[in-house]
């Protein structure tokens, strides 16, 4: 049945999307530095005739950067995407996409006016048909060449400043593997020098927003590829796990009986070929990953260096992360202390919040634990467990946003490592997205997590508890204000009574000589007292 589903899907291939539009990969587009493709709906650039968008100059942030990357003008990813393009489509309203042909996250319909909310489920809560469909979609993505997008296999300088384009085709799944490689690759300096302390998606504030966008775009591509608008990525809740529960042939592939570093031949993932995993070779040859197959997925969960990662994260570890009130702190990199981002990413202890280079915890712990393809940053997305893992990491990010309800200004606007400021465009996405655009609730982006959907207790925790916490912090001031207010009220009441008494006494003295009847006089006194 599963193979039948796969074959059916492979027969009915749909159009796909990615980043570096094929329409913008010509020498004309590169030399003019303009990427404003036609929207097929009306044949105009960016769908301008239909009011979907227009071709505009890119406005880059001028906010200062951190000191981690002391060079300028040596990396194509600097001030993204200005090395390649300085004009792109800017979409209006709820429209989105490299040619404004898509809907913003959370909307659908011909005019992108219909709201929707998808729910990401625990992979173990999927029905058999849902699970088989997810696995079939992965296979389909791995075997479908993108008709709309290509990957660059040379730097802009190697392309002779755009006059000699160097791009390759790639399948949809590997397109996202390439993006994860490209965003974290090293910088080529001089003739043979390499700068390794650079990453546009890790070790800094953009880690969580970047991977949130990555998952949303991957989810969107599968929806478009299959026509299944209700598809959502499942997650693996690894809290308190004692082993790799999803490493079975029923799910993401069990171990090979003869070689524990390989996947079981029963798992269809055993036939997958990985790409973009040989960073040292690329650096030595000074080339980019070109999508060439580089061997099978490697995975040997649990047989890793336990001195650096002694265990998988616990529920208490997650709860400690969520208790940290600062999203970012200090140097805003992997040395940041008491930073929610740095602790969740795994560079700070989930027991103290102090950065610890000798340990890998939380998010990093899962990558190290898998002991294979997932353990090297640039090629880690080759293993489909990457998607399930990062979906759960994103859910923890979502919990933090709901618990602390930060303003967008909490995300650093300046002095973060290169590519990580709030208004920096995220590498290597076209269309363009800023880091700060995804520092918002997942519900505003059209999705939620099954275990986070509102219940009475969740409502109290997410909406009432933050206000009670604020009251707890300022109660001494409130008490002081109440005592001062009570004192002033007492003084004012006393003064008003004194004035009323004096006025009443004067009135009585003026009226008494005119009274001749004793009964009337007593009646007036009675009324005055009342």
Calculate the dihedral angle through the C-alpha atoms of 172, 221, 144, 233, rounding to the nearest 10 degrees. Answer: 80
**SS3 at position 86:** coil
Mean pLDDT of 195-215: 98
Q: Please, how many CA atoms are within 13 Å of residue 391, restricted to the half-sphere of its CB?
A: 27
Model confidence at 306, pLDDT cuts 50, 70, 90, reads very high
**What is residue 158's predicted lDDT score, i.e. its pLDDT?**
95
Residue 491: pLDDT over 80? no
**What is residue 522's predicted lDDT score, i.e. its pLDDT?**
41
Residue 524: pLDDT over 90? no
Residue with tokens 């020098």: 193
The dihedral built from the CA positions of residue 380, 386, 392 and 398, taken in this order, carries a sign that is positive
d(CA 370, CA 527): 91
Residue 46: pLDDT over 80? yes
| Cβ atoms < 10 Å from Cβ of 415 | 14
Average pLDDT, the chain: 89
Q: Which residue has the higher pLDDT, 50 or 468?
A: 50
Model confidence at 93, pLDDT cuts 50, 70, 90, reads very high
**What is residue 492's predicted lDDT score, i.e. its pLDDT?**
72
Mean pLDDT of 473-479: 61
Question: Which residues fall within 8 angstroms of residue 405, CB to CB, at 6 or more apart?
Answer: 466
Residue 5: pLDDT over 60? no
What is the phi/psi pair of residue 223, to 5°?
Answer: -60, -45
The dihedral built from the CA positions of residue 255, 259, 265 and 270, taken in this order, carries a sign that is positive
d(CA 433, CA 90): 11
DSSP 185: P
Burial class (CB in 10 A: 0-12, 13-18, 19+), 355: buried
**What is residue 503's predicted lDDT score, i.e. its pLDDT?**
52
**What is residue 490's predicted lDDT score, i.e. its pLDDT?**
73
**SS3 at position 114:** strand
d(CA 277, CA 114): 41
Structure tokens belonging to residue 122: 């625990």
Question: Which residues fall within 8 angstroms of residue 75, CB to CB, at 6 or more apart?
Answer: 187, 188, 198
Q: Mutual orientation of helices 465-511 and 385-404 as an angle, nearest 10°?
A: 10
**What is residue 192's predicted lDDT score, i.e. its pLDDT?**
87
Mean pLDDT of 474-484: 64
**What is residue 499's predicted lDDT score, i.e. its pLDDT?**
64
Residue 511: pLDDT over 90? no
**What is residue 191's predicted lDDT score, i.e. its pLDDT?**
80
Q: What is the pLDDT of residues 231-271, one digit of tens each?
A: 999 999 999 999 999 999 999 999 999 999 999 999 989 99
255 bridge partner residues: 263
**SS3 at position 190:** coil
Q: What is the pLDDT of residues 156-189, one digit of tens each?
A: 999 999 999 999 999 999 999 999 999 999 999 9
Residue 12: pLDDT over 60? no
Question: In terms of Cα–Cα distance, which of 19, 145, 133, 136 is closest to 85?
Answer: 19
Structure tokens belonging to residue 382: 């080759």
d(CA 211, CA 504): 78
Q: What is the pLDDT of residues 317-361, one digit of tens each?
A: 999 999 999 999 999 999 999 999 999 999 999 999 999 999 999
Residue 392: pLDDT over 70? yes
What is the phi/psi pair of residue 187, to 5°?
Answer: -100, 135
DSSP characters for 171-222? Answer: BHHHHHHHHHHHHHPPEEETTTEEE-S--SSSSSTTHHHHHHHHHHHHHHHH
152 bridge partner residues: 167
| Cβ atoms < 10 Å from Cβ of 508 | 13
Residues 358-381 as b or e (16 or more Cβ within 10 Å = b):
ebbbbbbbbbbbbbbbbbbbbbbb
pTM attached to this predicted model = 0.84
**What is residue 504's predicted lDDT score, i.e. its pLDDT?**
55
Give the helix, strand, coil percentages of the chain, each rounded to 5: 40, 10, 50
């Amino acid at each position: 049945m599963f193979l039948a589903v796969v074959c059916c899907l492979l027969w009915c291939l749909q159009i796909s999307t990615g980043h570096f539009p094929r329409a913008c990969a010509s020498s004309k587009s590169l030399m003019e530095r303009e990427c404003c493709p036609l929207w097929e709906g009306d044949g105009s650039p960016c769908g301008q005739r239909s009011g979907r968008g227009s071709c505009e100059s890119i406005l880059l942030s001028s906010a200062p950067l951190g000191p981690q990357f002391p060079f300028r003008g040596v990396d194509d990813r600097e001030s993204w995407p200005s090395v390649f393009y300085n004009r792109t489509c800017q979409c209006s309203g709820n429209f989105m996409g490299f040619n404004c042909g898509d809907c913003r996250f959370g909307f659908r319909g011909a005019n992108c006016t219909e709201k929707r909310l998808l729910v990401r489920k625990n992979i173990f809560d999927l029905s058999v048909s849902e699970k088989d469909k997810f696995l079939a979609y992965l296979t389909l993505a791995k075997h479908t060449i993108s008709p709309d997008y290509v990957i660059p296999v040379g730097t802009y300088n190697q392309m002779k400043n755009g006059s000699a384009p160097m791009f390759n085709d790639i399948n949809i799944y590997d397109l996202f593997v390439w993006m994860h490689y490209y965003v974290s690759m090293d910088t080529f300096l001089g003739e043979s020098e390499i700068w390794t302390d650079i990453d546009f998606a890790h070790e800094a504030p953009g880690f969580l927003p970047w991977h949130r966008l990555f998952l949303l775009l991957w989810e969107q591509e599968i929806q478009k590829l299959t026509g299944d608008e209700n598809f959502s990525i499942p997650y693996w809740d690894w809290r308190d796990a004692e082993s790799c529960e999803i490493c079975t042939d029923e799910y993401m592939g069990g171990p090979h009986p003869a070689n524990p570093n390989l996947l079981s031949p029963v798992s269809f993932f055993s036939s997958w070929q990985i790409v973009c995993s040989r960073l040292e070779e690329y650096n030595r040859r000074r080339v980019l990953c070109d999508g060439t197959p580089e061997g099978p997925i490697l995975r040997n969960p649990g047989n890793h260096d336990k001195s650096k990662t002694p265990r998988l994260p616990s529920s208490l570890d997650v709860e400690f992360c969520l208790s940290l009130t600062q999203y970012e702190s200090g140097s805003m990199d992997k040395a940041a202390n008491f930073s929610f981002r740095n602790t969740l990413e795994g560079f700070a202890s989930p027991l103290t919040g102090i950065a610890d280079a000798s340990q890998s915890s939380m998010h990093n712990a899962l990558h190290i634990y898998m002991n294979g393809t997932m353990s090297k940053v640039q090629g880690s997305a080759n293993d489909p467990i990457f998607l399930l893992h990062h979906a759960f990491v994103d859910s923890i990010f979502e919990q933090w946003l709901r618990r602390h309800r930060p303003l967008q200004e909490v995300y650093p606007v300046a002095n973060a490592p290169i590519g990580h400021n709030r208004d920096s465009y995220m590498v290597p996405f076209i269309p363009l997205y800023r880091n700060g655009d995804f520092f918002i609730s997942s519900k505003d982006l059209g999705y939620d997590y099954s275990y986070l959907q509102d219940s009475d207790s969740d409502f109290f925790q997410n909406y009432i508890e933050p206000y009670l916490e604020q009251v707890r912090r300022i109660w001494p001031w409130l008490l002081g204000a109440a005592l001062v207010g009570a004192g002033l009220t007492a003084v004012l009441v006393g003064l008003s009574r004194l004035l009323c008494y004096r006025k009443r006494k004067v009135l009585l003295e003026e009226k008494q000589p005119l009274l001749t009847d004793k009964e009337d006089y007593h009646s007036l006194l009675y009324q005055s007292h009342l």
